[in-house]
Structure 1
Amino acid sequence: MPDDVLVMILSLLPIKEAVATSSLSTTWRFLWRNLSRLNFDGTQTLNKTGSTGWTYKYIEQVNSVIKSYNRPILQDFRVHFRLKNHHKGHIDEWIQFVINKKVEFLELNLTDKDQYLTEDLNSYDFPLFKTNRRPLNATVVEILCLRKLILKMVNVTDSILEELLTTCPHLETIVIHYSVYLEHIRVNGRALKLKHLEIVGTNSLNSIYLSDFDLVSFTYKGCIIDLRLTNLPTLKEVYLYPISNGTPSIDDNVFDQISSCALSRQALSFDFCYHMEGLKLDSLPELPNLKKFRLVIGGSKCNFLLDLASILNACPKLETFTLEPFWSSSVTNKRKARGSVIPHDHLKLVKIKGFYCRTSDFELAAFTIRICVALKKIVIDPCHNQRQLPIKTVRKFLMNKEAALSSAKHQLETILPSGVELCIL
């Protein structure tokens, strides 16, 4: 069997097992060193990380592999294990290895497997060193071939992020989760190659300003901040998950900011699962090319059908709409809502998640069926999520789930136009 086929087989194995094949025969002895990707996935032992021994076994495994790896170029380097800043010496050496090997994809996922994630001052601090010719105390990391960077439970400062964008000229994707030090993210300039930016769980963050480059997708999950998206002509996908932290309402600034690049938007996702009573969905700007929209919303939105009418009017080319409502109040103003919406002739797939057979659930489904004249399929997911719902509501539904879903199917089928598929998960 040719060596390149054997290497392809090795690439499908966990790195520990791939290296172990070197003891099989002289043919296999050095084959693993031809792997173009090194993925040190320690998730299977993360529940054992209470033992210092397991942590240092993991570190020793990584050190042993990179010491023996002699291929001049490495495509991917990934680490997933709960390591902290007192392991910095080892992790710095791994990044130095990455720089030397001209890595294109670097992932440092230093999270626990099942822990409640939040920032940690003891997390690893991303280093400030520059190229394989500079000492570790130089100014900034410079990985000239880097295209994708994922940092989770890794502390990054504003200045480090700025320098990374400057000194990694091919960087297209940045993902940062649970970094303590980020406060004001400023990304701008036509020279940037950045296409995808994801920021999650950075509670110290006050603002994100993105402008004048060819960003394609943007994801933000965290506290309400000053968000400004300006002159981003290629931005197609926006996913926002604001967390209120006790704030009773969310500023409609979030809608103002997407209006500047509304023409290019093709996919949009909002997660307002907390009580966002001040949110005015009727302020959503017109999105003439939007094809996919996901909306998670909580609170006592008794006027939600009016909001839904506004959304559909603002998105005339919408084809897929996923809705996850979390409220217990009845829907009102049904007649006014029906009178305020234009029949939608592009929407083909509607997914309603968290359908608990309440009156408001039926009213929502019925309203959607009536106004979507091109509808091909409606998907009802009854138990997708139980957050933000009264315990009594969930308990009552679960006790009578089979009968409730049977009744729901019968009621919906009576109003379902011919040719429209009803799928109840």
Structure 2
Amino acid sequence: MAEVERRVCEDRISSLSDDLLVQILLLVPTKDAVATTFLSKRWRFVWRMLPRLEYRETETSDGNINSVWWFLEDSFRLHKAPLLERLCIELGPQCPIYVNPVKWVAKALDTRVRWLIFRLLWKGEPIRMPKSLYFCKTLERLTLSYKILVDVPRQVSLPSLTELDLFCVVYKDEDSHVRLLSSCPVLKCLKVTRNRHVEDNVRTFSVKVPSLLRLDYKADTTFQDSDDRFLVIDTPNLLSLHIFDIFGHSFSVEYMPHLVTVVIDVLFPNENFMRSLSSVKYLALSPFDIMVPWCDAVNNYSRLVECMIFLSDQDLCESLLVLLSNCSKLKVFMVDSEIGQYANRGPGLWNQPSSVPRCLSSHLEIFEWEGYAGREYEKELIRYILENSKCLKTAGISPNSTCSEEKQKMVIELESMQRVPTSVLLSSARMLFRR
């Protein structure tokens, strides 16, 4: 019996190797991992070898926020891992301004950190990162958010950095971001967010990174001096480009022959920019009314296979067909008219084109319309696409009405289109009503 009791009480986990115990602690939040120091002598120092640490503000059940600065202060100084794979520090307004977060970042850099996430939302002024940040040879991914002052030295080198995220930070001067980007010879992904509530000291944001493959750029459209903002993109190897909310900006774009995916949301295009998109395969435009000149400026999107349009003006349906005429290999075409369903409730105009776009007769396989309101011009356009799409496999129409009777009426109208006498083969098409 004693032997059985001894086996029941045996602590087999504590007998595991340090490496296995570290892997177990990586499955729980950092705060819980540190708490294991009180379990026994065996656990006292295990957490100090964790290669990944996260310090985030947490919300209590009564809605209050528990700041982690004090916990970070007490625990991080005890950390002894020779290599830090990932450090995440997120501090909110509850963090006192007398705290010195820079020393924590400096220590992480001394431990050869590979991935650093630092988010500071305290009530104090933006802080400078330690100079060693700009010379870290092991740093591969870096995220800086909010109350960070990007003050880049004249001589800087980040030879391993592949991903950089600059979220609403402040730059010391107009050239700080230029020096930072030029110091990253293997940078692959860059995300930049600028906010109207943050004066970041930059008028011309220039992205000249030969190694860059993906660029996400977002700037608040309500900048008071948005007309004085410029964006320069010179990235010849770029594969993916996402631009959001740069309404009113001026910009210059060099040719990007390898561009595959483009997502545009609120942008005033120019001819140079439009032509730089001629090689894309996947394109999303919002709102389409601003993009209408693209239909005429670029007469051949020869590689485009998937296109999504956010339609805010019903009078632009004919422009959709102009766009389709320029996309000879298009296989997937999606329209979302929900954003404009209250903007213009007039009858709309529809003139059937004299020739059928090539993509409809030979390539289009998937057609979707989100936010269908049953207006006459919508019905005519959808009817035209269904009747002339010889390769169509799936057609998904999603009504925007919340009234069951009105929705049922739309469904009946749409289903009747499949029974219209036509020589087009629609036997494999499926009408998908997802609401």
User: Shorter-chain-normalised TM-score: which range?
Assistant: 0.7 to 0.9
CA–CA distance in structure 2, aligned partners of residues 371 and 67 of structure 1: 69
Compared CA separation, residues 195 and 46, structure 1 to 2 (3 A): farther
- Shift, 1:313, TM fit: 1.8
User: 1:418 aligned to 385, 408, 427, which one?
Assistant: 427
Q: Find the aligned partners of 1:61 and 1:174 in 2 and give their Cα distance.
A: 32
Mapped pair 1:210 → 2:210: no
CA displacement, residues 348-398 of structure 1 (integer Å, 9 cap, x when unaligned): 222322223343443343233233322222233445xxxxxxxxxxxxx33
Aligned to 2:249: 225
- TM score, norm. by length of structure 2: 0.73
1:152 aligns with 2:167: yes
Following superposition, the deviation at residue 424 of structure 1 comes to: 1.8
Matching of residues 271-420 of structure 1 within 5 Å: 271-272=286-287, 276=289, 279-283=292-296, 285=298, 286-299=300-313, 301-302=314-315, 304-325=316-337, 326-327=340-341, 328-336=345-353, 339=355, 341-342=357-358, 343-383=360-400, 397-398=401-402, 400=403, 402-416=404-418, 417-420=426-429
CA–CA distance in 2 between the matches of 1:215 and 1:278?
A: 22
Give secondary structure in 2 for the equivalent of 1:233. coil
Query: What amino acid is aligned across from residue 243 of structure 2 in structure 1?
Result: Y
Q: CA deviation at 1:175?
A: 1.4
State how far apart, in whole Å, the 1-side matches of 2:252 and 2:73 are.
43
Q: Work out the CA distance in 1 between the residues paired with 2:376 and 2:58.
A: 43
Determine the structure 2 residue equivalent to 1:389: none
Shift in Å, 1:126? 5.8
Partner SS state of residue 333, structure 1: coil
Question: 1:260 offset after TM fit, Å?
Answer: 2.7
Query: Secondary structure of 2:175's match?
Result: helix
Q: Secondary structure at the match of 1:13?
A: coil
2:105 equivalent among 74, 92, 95: 95
- Separation of aligned partners in 2, 1:7 and 1:36: 9
Q: Which residue identity lines up with residue 366 of structure 1 in the other structure? A: R
Residue in 2 aligned with 1:187? 207
In structure 1, distance between residues paired with 2:194 and 2:94: 13
Alignment of 1:114-125 (within 5 A): 124=126
Cα distance in structure 1, aligned partners of 2:273 and 2:134: 41
Deviation of 1:259 (Å): 1.4
SS at match of 2:217: strand
Structure 1 residue 209: deviation in Å? 1.5
| Contact residue 357 and residue 404 of structure 1 kept, 8 A | no
What aligned pairs does 1:36-55 form with structure 2 within 5 A after superposition?
36-42=51-57, 44=59, 48=63, 54=65
1:354 partner SS = strand
Between structure 1 and structure 2, the one with the greater Rg is 2
Q: Confirm or deny: 8 A CA contact 2:69 2:95 kept in the other structure.
A: no
Q: 1:23 to 1:363 in 2, by over 3 A?
A: farther
- Is residue 2:162 matched to residue 1:139? no
Among 44, 53, 58, the alignment partner of 2:68 is 58
Residues 341, 76 of structure 1: CA spacing in aligned structure 2 closer, same or farther, 3 A cutoff? same
Partners of 1:330 and 1:88 lie apart in 2 by 63
CA displacement at 1:418 relative to structure 2: 1.8
What SS does structure 1 have at the residue aligned with 2:311? strand
Q: How many residues end up aligned between the 2 structures?
A: 380
Q: Are 1:242 and 2:258 matched, yes or no?
A: no
- How far apart, in 2, do the equivalents of 1:315 and 1:43 lie? 49
Stretch deviating more after TM superposition (170-179 or 87-96): 87-96
Distance (whole Å) between structure 2 residues aligned to residue 61 and residue 196 of structure 1: 36
CA–CA distance in structure 2, aligned partners of residues 320 and 84 of structure 1: 49
User: Counterpart of 2:131 in 1: which secondary structure?
Assistant: coil
Distance 1:9 1:376, change over 3 A: farther
* Distance in 1 of aligned mates of 2:152 and 2:293: 49
Whole-angstrom CA distance in 1 between matches of 2:166 and 2:52: 18
1:191-223 Cα deviation digits (max 9, x unpaired): xx2222222135366111112532222222122
Measure how far apart 1:84 and its partner are: 10
The TM-score with structure 1 as length reference comes to: 0.75
Q: CA RMSD in A?
A: 3.7
**Cα–Cα, structure 1 residues 194 and 277, in superposed 2: closer, same or farther, change >3 Å?**
closer
In 2, distance between residues paired with 1:84 and 1:128? Answer: 23
Tell me how far 1:184 sits from its aligned partner: 0.7
CA distance in 1, matches of 2:24, 2:415: 50
Alignment partners' CA distance in 1, 2:108 and 2:49: 16
- Counterpart of 2:110, as a letter, is N
- Work out the CA distance in 1 between the residues paired with 2:251 and 2:24: 46
Structure 1: which 4+ aligned runs deviate by more than 6 Å? Answer: none
Aligned with 2:266: secondary structure? strand
Higher relative contact order (CA 8 A, sep 6+): 1
Q: CA deviation at 1:311?
A: 1.5
Contact 1:284 1:314 in 2 (8 A): no
- Pick closer, same or farther for the CA change 1:171–1:47 going to 2, 3 Å: farther
Q: State how far apart, in whole Å, the 2-side matches of 1:349 and 1:31 are.
A: 55
Partner of 1:116: none
Given candidates 142, 163, 170, the residue that maps to 2:179 is: 163
> What per-residue deviation string (whole Å, max 9, x for no partner) do you get for residues 271-292 of structure 1?
227xx46843522522211222
